[in-house]
Each structure stands twice: as structure tokens, then as C-alpha cells.
């Protein structure tokens, strides 16, 4: 066989693997939830380092639980994905506008660095 045949077989094999391992909508949502929850934990730890009494800790825990449930509801309603067979995109719809914030390929989700910039801007 010629080199050209090996290249074609390799590309077909890659396309098959990419199509079979393309992540679904739930995986996209879970990745966004994970990123948002990590950001929330970081923010809560920065703000509550000097509170030592039990009421503050209890309030912090309740606030954390409430915030995580809000994040889960928000992500479930706002995040979707588009499947393009070989890869998929993570989309967020806010105020009627849809933006792509990530890409999923070979079973992995890669979210844009602009998400971190936007979250850090809100401080």
C-alpha cells in the first residue's frame, strides 16, 4: 500500500474515534457546573477566612448550599450543546444571545479562558 492509503485509513480511524467519543449535553453541563462551583468555593474561602464563630460557619454553609443549587438550576437552563458529529460545542444563552464557550472532542470538554476573565471581572 502507498503512503496515501495509510493517511486515508488514519484519517478515517480518527474520524470514527472522534464520532464515537463525542461528549453529550450532560457532560458539557457538568463541566460548566464544576467550573462555577470551583469559582464559588474560591470566592467563599477568600471572604470567610476570619470568621471563627459557629453561627458564621453555619451561615456560610447554608449560603454555599443555596448558591450551588442556584448554579445547578442556572446551568441546566442556560447551557446547551451543539453536536457536529466529530466534535460538539458548549453554548450559553443569556438575554436571548447565544455564545459558544467551549468545545468537546474525544470525550473531553475544553472551556474558554474568557470564562475565568468574566468571573474575575465580577469581583
For the stretch 14-40, pLDDT in tens is: 999 999 988 988 999 899 888 888 888
* Per-residue pLDDT, 43: 76
Please give the grid coordinates belonging to residue 57.
460557619
3-state secondary structure of 109: strand
Give the Cα separation of 117 and 113 in Å (integer): 7
For the stretch 42-89, pLDDT in tens is: 877 666 656 666 766 677 777 778 888 888 888 888 888 899 989 999
Amino acid at each position: 500500500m502507498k503512503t496515501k492509503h495509510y493517511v486515508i485509513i488514519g484519517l478515517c480511524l480518527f474520524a470514527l474515534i472522534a464520532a464515537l467519543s463525542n461528549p453529550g449535553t450532560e457532560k458539557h453541563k457538568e463541566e460548566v457546573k464544576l467550573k462555577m462551583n470551583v469559582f464559588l468555593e474560591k470566592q467563599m474561602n477568600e471572604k470567610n477566612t476570619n470568621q471563627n464563630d459557629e453561627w458564621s460557619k453555619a451561615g456560610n454553609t447554608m449560603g454555599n448550599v443555596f448558591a450551588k443549587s442556584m448554579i445547578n438550576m442556572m446551568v441546566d437552563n442556560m447551557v446547551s450543546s451543539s453536536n457536529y458529529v466529530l466534535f460538539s460545542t458548549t453554548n450559553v444563552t443569556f438575554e436571548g444571545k447565544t455564545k459558544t464557550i467551549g468545545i468537546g472532542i474525544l470525550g473531553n470538554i475544553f472551556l474558554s479562558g474568557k470564562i475565568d476573565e468574566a468571573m474575575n471581572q465580577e469581583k
